[in-house]
Amino acid sequence: MDFVLKLSNIESDLIAACIAKESWAQQKLYEMHYPKLMAVCMRYASHQDEALDLLHEGFIKIFRNLDKYQTNTSLLSWMKTIVINTAIDHLRKMAKHRTDDIGTVYSLEAGTADVNAMINEKDILKCIQVLTPAYRSVFNLYVIEGYSHKEIGELLSITESTSRSNLVKARTKLKEMLKSSFFDDEFDEK
């Protein structure tokens, strides 16, 4: 069955073609949303291969459930929710919400404005990927996705206080890694 895309209804026609299992439409939808959804996966994964696995698993769920998408809502937001839930399910399977021992929490001095100005998105993403799955998932859900601690607790089957604690520890670890990375780079340049 061939579909002709009309300029006024491109998205709805593309969705209909995907539901009809048209491979060209699935490829088009994948290519259109790959960059944004891959960025989401990179925040939850430890490395690029894991992120790609999460993305592919997410797209499989998207294609299987596309008939449930409500056309009056944002397709990207709907897809992003599926990918985030896929990442959370993956983290549940892998780590069962392990946290670092309380003795590993570090105290840090407040960073200077100069250090903060030198940090870029790539450095932050690398540091987020090094966090434990529990810290990484809480940090992403709270800071990036905007979930409340109550919602995070329900999503991850943890208490609100555990969510808060993991966020504090994640931020502390991130500050430490970013400072260390910055000062190591500064030292190497001299």
Task: Write the DSSP string, 7-66.
Answer: GGGHHHHHHHHHHTT-HHHHHHHHHHHHHHHHHHHHHHSSSHHHHHHHHHHHHHHHHHHG
Q: Does residue 100 have a pLDDT over 80?
A: no
Q: Does residue 101 have a pLDDT over 80?
A: no
Q: What is the pLDDT of residues 25-63, one digit of tens each?
A: 999 999 999 999 999 999 888 889 999 999 999 999 999
pLDDT reported for residue 178: 79
User: What's the pTM?
Assistant: 0.63
* Residue 17: pLDDT band with limits 50, 70, 90: very high
Q: What is the pLDDT of residues 139-185, one digit of tens each?
A: 989 988 888 999 999 888 899 999 999 999 999 998 888 777 655 55
pLDDT reported for residue 3: 55
- Is 173 strand, coil or helix? helix
> Domains in the chain, please, with CATH?
7-95 (1.10.1740.10), 102-189 (1.10.10.10)
pLDDT reported for residue 118: 52
